[in-house]
Structure 1
């Protein structure tokens, strides 16, 4: 192989590796719609992942197996702080536990954005989650068991694997 060709190949490989690690070129997050699921007017509501559209959740998984979660909440109670939970299981009704991962506070229009919330792989490997294939969801409420300001979750769980 001639020297110029070798230098060119090495330069192309190096450039592609540099570009693949730039934040703007990171893998896109998966987007799943949120709904105001458990109606405050119906305390016996099934919490079955159906309801009024209320924003979305984006999630991505890094090379270590950790998650990055980003919540956009819309149509919630204005000027209210909500707790964000990673729920073990595909629905609230089928939950095997939950973990608070952050909070959001809505503005006067009832809109809130969490920004990236990182859940390390060690947290996902621990109880109640665990290693293997997962189907979990994000649940957003003011306080555990309090649906007075709405209870928000995803229309479908997100699936991922924990090493």
Structure 2
């Protein structure tokens, strides 16, 4: 297993990351909700499995890297894995289990865009949700963002997926 992962592990990880981005681009969500879910529920299991594999399955790498450097690499890879798994969380949320229609309504209090240094633009809509009384920050597509105006009432049907994450 160590030889296989040493040879093909980087390609597996890159493929995992690229495929994990697709659901993130496909669904509108409350900002970072899939990430928080992944962080809350996947951190401990991923760390346990990763360190178990490191200490039991990678004797050559462990001897070469040493325990401190090897443990830091495992931790860093786990963090990247959990960060990129939010796309898979969204896929599972939207594909499996019960999908409930949820009416999301409130007043639009702010429209915001964020342009990163890498050239991508994100579109955010802040809604004063009448049902919960909290302000929700929705991460939406440009097409949807262009139709909205501050002060208008927002009322749309979203879905609550099997992991209790709102999406559209």
TM bucket (normalised to shorter chain) is under 0.3
Greater relative CO, 1 or 2 (CA 8 Å, sep 6+): 2
Q: Considering fraction of residues, name the structure with more helix.
A: 2
TM-score, length of structure 1 as denominator length: 0.27
